[in-house]
Every structure is written in C-alpha cells, then in structure tokens.
C-alpha cells in the first residue's frame, strides 16, 4: 500500500467522529486582515476576533490605544447565537485537579477448618491518597492598561453539527497530504440563508470601571461548510492558517472554550 493510501486508511480507522464540518465565517460589516481575522479599529481601540479551532472559540483581542485605562465588562457582554443571548461569563466554576495515592494488599490467613473450596488465600487491597484541585473564578471585568492589549477566549460559538439539507451540498474533490484527493460535500450560503448567524456584544468603559459604557456589537455568519469524515490532521494541515475557520464533529469532546492556535494579530486590518 502506498504511503498516502496508508495514511488515509489509518485516519479512517482511528477517527472518533463519523462526520466533521469545516466552517468559514464571514461578515457583511467587519473587514479582515491578512490572517483572515476580523478587525475593528477606531481612535480608542483595536478589536480583533479570531475563531480558528474546534467549536469556533471566540478569541477576542482588545488593544487599548488611549493613555487612560480601559475596562471590558464581561458580565454585561454576550454572544448571541441565532438570537439566543449567552453571557461571556460562564455560569459554572471550572475545577481542575489531580489525584495521587498508594495501593497495598494483604492476604488473610486461610481457615483450614473450611471446606477445600474455601481454602485458598483471600486477597484484599486498600487505596488511600489525596486530591489537589483549584477552582477558576470567572473574570467579570478585564483591566487593560494604556497602550497595551489583552486576549480572552470566553467561550465557543457551537460544538454541534449544523443542520444543512442534502440539496444544499455539492460534491468536490479535496486535496489532502501528498496529493491524495477525497470527495467532500460543500455548501455555500449568503447571510440570509446561513445555517448559523451570531453577534458579539461587548461592553467597554474608559477611564474608570464605573464610567459610561460604550457598546460594540458585530455580526457574523457561516458562509461555507465542508462535510467529510476526514479529521483536522488531514484537512487543516494542508491549508493556510485562517482566523475565520473552525470545525465541529458529531463525536466532539472538546470544550466549548477551547484555546485557539496561533498568536492573535494586533497589527490592524487589510481589505
């Protein structure tokens, strides 16, 4: 078997998902930079959205261009997915920890008066240990000093497959590593026909965290979907890094706030 075919066979064998969807995000009101990240800039701030990764992580970079502090009120900010508002502050406290311990065993002496079937040694074990854990308290207000930037990934847009009728797809051949091509299904959408539309609603204060809030709201939609059984090791390793692409799968175990790969671009936008 040739190397490309062997790689393809191994990928199918060990894939944990039956179907993957690779989505491209677009916006009718926000421009993109050379990394296909969405960029909003004015005299006060530079705001960058990057959705690259599993489950469309909302990676937000906010660069304070002023000479006074800036505050982002995550408690009064949200992502609005298909008209449903979801706070950027999680409603659960995440706890991470580890367990370490020891196990010992001993043999109970045989009671020779019992029948022969019970004359075998009885073995038992005792396990003891300790648990070490830390609780992550959700950040409600982010402080951005003058002439600095912060990056936060408060949550993901979705971890589930998007429903698209079969009639919306057409088959194309997608080129994987070493020239191997596989058939995938592709669908394209306008903003009005998109299966997923969402908005980011950010509340920002300048100077003091009790100052008058300024709201930044921006809209996005899915403009393209690829449906395939191929995992990201094949699909994504053959493409250029793009901040407007993400993937989901029907067996996803990734967290909805999974980190994005790559470093955010805070250098401004390009059409």
User: What pLDDT does residue 124 have?
Assistant: 53
Q: How confident is the model at residue 139 (pLDDT cuts 50, 70, 90)?
A: confident
Tell me the per-residue pLDDT of 73-99, one tens digit each, with 9 for 90 and over. Answer: 999 999 999 999 999 987 655 555 665
What's the CA gap between 153 and 256, in Å, rounded?
10
Which whole-number Å values give the CA distances from 111 to 6, 120, 123, 126, in the listed order? 60, 9, 13, 22
Say how many CA atoms lie within 13 Å of 206 toward its Cβ. Answer: 14
Measured CA angle at 212 (ends 210, 218), to 5 deg: 115
Q: How confident is the model at residue 161 (pLDDT cuts 50, 70, 90)?
A: very high
pLDDT per residue over 197-250, tens digit each? 999 999 999 998 888 999 999 999 999 999 999 888 878 766 678 999 999 998
Residue 176: pLDDT band with limits 50, 70, 90:
confident
Main-chain dihedrals φ then ψ at residue 237, nearest 5 degrees = -70, -10
Question: d(Cα 207, Cα 67) in Å, to the nearest integer?
Answer: 9
Beta bridge partners of 173: 183
Q: How far apart are CA 43 and CA 191, in angstroms?
A: 29
From the DSSP assignment, how many helices (H) and strands (E) are in the chain? 2, 18
By C-alpha distance, which of 251, 247, 264 is closest to 24? 247
What are residue 183's DSSP bridge partners?
173
Q: What is the model's pLDDT at position 109?
A: 58
Contact present, 244 and 25 (Cβ < 8 Å): yes
């Amino acid at each position: 078997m040739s190397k490309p075919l062997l790689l393809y066979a191994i990928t199918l064998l060990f894939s944990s998902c039956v179907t993957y969807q690779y989505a491209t995000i677009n916006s009718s009101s926000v421009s993109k930079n050379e990394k296909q990240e969405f960029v909003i800039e004015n005299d006060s701030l530079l705001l960058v959205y990057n959705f690259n990764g599993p489950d469309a992580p909302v990676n937000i970079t906010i660069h304070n261009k002023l000479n006074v502090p800036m505050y982002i009120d995550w408690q009064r900010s949200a992502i609005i997915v298909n008209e449903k508002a979801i706070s950027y502050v999680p409603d659960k406290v995440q706890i991470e920890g580890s367990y370490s311990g020891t196990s010992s065993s001993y043999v109970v002496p045989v009671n020779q008066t019992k029948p022969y079937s019970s004359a075998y040694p009885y073995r038992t074990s005792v396990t003891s240990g300790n648990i070490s854990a830390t609780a992550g308290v959700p950040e409600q207000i982010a402080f951005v000093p003058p002439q600095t930037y912060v990056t936060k990934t408060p949550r993901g847009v979705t971890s589930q497959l998007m429903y698209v009728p079969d009639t919306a797809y057409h088959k194309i051949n997608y080129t994987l590593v070493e020239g191997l091509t596989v058939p995938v299904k592709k669908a394209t959408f306008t903003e009005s026909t998109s299966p997923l539309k969402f908005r980011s609603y950010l509340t920002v204060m300048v100077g003091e965290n009790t100052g008058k809030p300024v709201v930044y709201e921006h809209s996005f939609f899915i403009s393209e979907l690829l449906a395939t059984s191929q995992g990201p090791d094949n699909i994504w390793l053959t493409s250029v890094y793009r901040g407007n692409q993400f993937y989901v799968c029907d067996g996803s175990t990734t967290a909805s706030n999974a980190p994005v790969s790559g470093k955010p671009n805070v250098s401004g936008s390009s059409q």
